[in-house]
């Protein structure tokens, strides 16, 4: 008898520990409270705030939180709240959240999605509900080409980024480019765009799958292609082991990847293998962002803003401006976003008819891995 009591108690204790730990996470999440007064309102932000690729998204969340906090401090009579929905970047998780947000009339706008896949899956739901979506980082080109009227992004698309990668590779005198992608909405999208621009420079390609860990076949294909550049379209989780296994096998081709790898988990996960790798990103180096954003961010979070910190701030700012202008309905806010025309911290923000920012205002930077840091290298010319 006694033994089974002990066991039951042990189980309860374990369960309690788990619940407490899970609770800690949640309490760090959404900012509670409801809107008050005539001014203000509630917005939602969704994205991969935990999970394998969270490092890419957290800066944007922080940036948006910073914007809301500064706004509320400066406008005590106009309280804005922002609730977080952690999708882990998974369209299947994002969809029920989208239904929940769309069905709750207190939400007046949405920041997100942060990845292309989750944005694609939830766009029709938000459009049907008349909610504006402002994405800080969903870059797949066709997101804005499907006739959706409520999706806007404050970031350049993959077509623009692929063009910049192509012109970078050409200035580096690339002769044989081997392309690998993870067959995801984002990875395959940007890799195909690049393939179109590079044409005969592409010597061979391979597709891997998400969660793959061993890349013998891919590495031997790269080896026998004698490529001088390897382009990888995808995210950190697969890129870090891939580049490490490439280097271990003695492949010296230069490794180039898009903004999906802009995450310090990439160099640290590859433990040295990623040294010198090039990452392109339509995101500004911290010190190039406008206003006091970088300093404020550094002060609040203790680290410099990483990928899309400034874009997250800009995304939130659009809604904050809408509230300040007295917009109170989903339709008014959507119209406000559509006609937004103002300098943001990341770039000048004005959307074209499809919801993309003006391509000439997009800036794309190349970064280089040095140790465990991602250092700004140069601004890329858009082809």
Partner 1 sequence: MHFDELIGHLGQHTVDGLSKGAIYALIALGYTLVYGVLRLINFAHSEVFMVGTFAVLILWTQLGVQNNPPVGQAILFLVLGLVVAAVASGGTALALERIAYRPLRRKNAPPLIFLITAIGLSLVFVELFGQVLPKLLGTVLPEAFGRPRQIVGMPTIIQQETLFTIGNTAITNIQLIVFVAAVAMMALLDWFINRTRYGRGVRAVAQNPETAALMGVNQERVIMLIFVLGGIMAGAAALLWSMRFGFTQNSIGFVLGLKAFTAAVLGGIGNLRGALLGGLFLGVVEVYGATLFASNWEDVIAFVVLIVVLMFRPTGLLGESLGRARA
Contacts to partner 1 by CB under 8 A: 7, 17-18, 21-22, 24-25, 50-52, 54-55, 183, 206-209, 211-218, 220-221, 224, 236-237, 240-241, 244-245, 248-250, 265, 268-273
Residue 114 to residues 7, 46, 163, 236, 308, Cα–Cα distance (Å):
44, 7, 21, 15, 10
- Whose CA is closest to 236, among 217, 255, 254? 255
Considering the complex, state which of residue 183 and residue 377 has its C-beta at the smaller distance from partner 1. 183
Instruction: Give me the least distance between CB of 46 and partner 1, in Å please.
Output: 18
Instruction: Give me the least distance between CB of 252 and partner 1, in Å please.
Output: 14
Instruction: Give me the least distance between CB of 316 and partner 1, in Å please.
Output: 25
Cβ-proximal residues to 235 (8 Å cutoff; 6+ apart), any chain: 52, 53, 56, 182, 184, 186, 187, 260, 261
Distance CA 63, CA 51 (A): 19
Instruction: Give me the least distance between CB of 51 and partner 1, in Å please.
Output: 6
Torsion of CA 346, 28, 55, 48, to 10 degrees: -90
Instruction: Give me the least distance between CB of 140 and partner 1, in Å please.
Output: 18
Considering the complex, state which of residue 23 and residue 96 has its C-beta at the smaller distance from partner 1. 23
Torsion of CA 125, 131, 137, 139, to 10 degrees: 60
Instruction: Give me the least distance between CB of 266 and partner 1, in Å please.
Output: 9
Instruction: Give me the least distance between CB of 7 and partner 1, in Å please.
Output: 7
Look at the alpha carbons of 254, 258, 261, 264 in this order and tell me if their dihedral is positive or negative.
Answer: positive
Structure tokens at 35: 């809107």
Question: How many residues are recorded in the chain?
Answer: 383
Considering the complex, state which of residue 14 and residue 325 has its C-beta at the smaller distance from partner 1. 14
Considering the complex, state which of residue 17 and residue 106 has its C-beta at the smaller distance from partner 1. 17
> Around Cβ 50, how many Cβ atoms within 10 Å?
14
Residue 229 to residues 180, 200, 250, 354, 356, Cα–Cα distance (Å):
11, 14, 14, 34, 30
Distance CA 261, CA 231 (A): 12
Considering the complex, state which of residue 46 and residue 266 has its C-beta at the smaller distance from partner 1. 266
Structure tokens at 341: 């025309």
Instruction: Give me the least distance between CB of 265 and partner 1, in Å please.
Output: 4
For the CA atoms of the chain, what is the radius of gyration?
A: 22
Considering the complex, state which of residue 27 and residue 360 has its C-beta at the smaller distance from partner 1. 27
Considering the complex, state which of residue 99 and residue 268 has its C-beta at the smaller distance from partner 1. 268
Distance CA 96, CA 125 (A): 10
Considering the complex, state which of residue 149 and residue 204 has its C-beta at the smaller distance from partner 1. 204
């Amino acid at each position: 008898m006694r033994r089974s009591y002990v066991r039951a108690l042990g189980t309860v204790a374990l369960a309690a520990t788990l619940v407490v730990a899970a609770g800690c996470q949640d309490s760090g999440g959404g900012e509670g409270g409801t809107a008050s007064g005539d001014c203000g309102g509630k917005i939602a932000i969704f994205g991969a705030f935990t999970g394998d690729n969270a490092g890419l998204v957290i800066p944007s969340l922080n940036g948006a939180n910073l914007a809301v906090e500064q706004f509320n401090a400066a406008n005590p009579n106009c309280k804005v709240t922002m609730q977080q929905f952690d999708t882990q970047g998974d369209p299947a998780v994002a969809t029920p959240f989208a239904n929940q947000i769309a069905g709750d009339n207190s939400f007046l706008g949405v920041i997100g999605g942060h990845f292309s896949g989750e944005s694609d899956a939830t766009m029709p739901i938000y459009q049907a509900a008349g909610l504006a979506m402002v994405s800080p980082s969903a870059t797949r080109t066709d997101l804005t080409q499907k006739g959706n009227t409520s999706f806007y992004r404050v970031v350049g698309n993959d077509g623009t980024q692929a063009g910049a990668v192509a012109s970078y590779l050409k200035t580096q005198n690339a002769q044989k480019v081997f392309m690998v992608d993870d067959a995801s909405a984002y990875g395959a999208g940007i890799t195909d765009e690049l393939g179109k621009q590079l044409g005969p420079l592409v010597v061979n390609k391979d597709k891997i799958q998400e969660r793959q860990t061993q890349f013998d076949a891919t590495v031997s294909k790269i080896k026998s292609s004698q490529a001088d550049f390897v382009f990888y379209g995808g995210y950190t989780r697969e890129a870090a082991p891939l580049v490490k296994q490439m280097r271990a096998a003695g492949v010296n081709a230069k490794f180039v990847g898009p903004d999906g790898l802009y995450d310090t988990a990439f160099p640290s996960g590859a433990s040295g293998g990623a040294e010198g790798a090039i990452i392109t990103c339509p995101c500004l180096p911290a010190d190039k962002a406008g206003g006091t954003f970088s300093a404020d961010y550094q002060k609040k979070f203790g680290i410099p803003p990483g990928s899309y910190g400034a874009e997250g701030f800009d995304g939130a700012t659009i809604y904050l401006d809408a509230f300040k202008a007295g917009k109170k309905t989903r339709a008014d806010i959507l119209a406000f976003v559509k006609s937004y025309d103002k300098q943001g911290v990341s770039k000048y923000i004005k959307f074209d008819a499809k919801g993309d920012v003006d391509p000439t205002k997009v800036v794309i930077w190349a970064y280089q891995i040095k140790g465990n840091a991602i250092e700004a290298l140069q601004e890329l010319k858009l082809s």
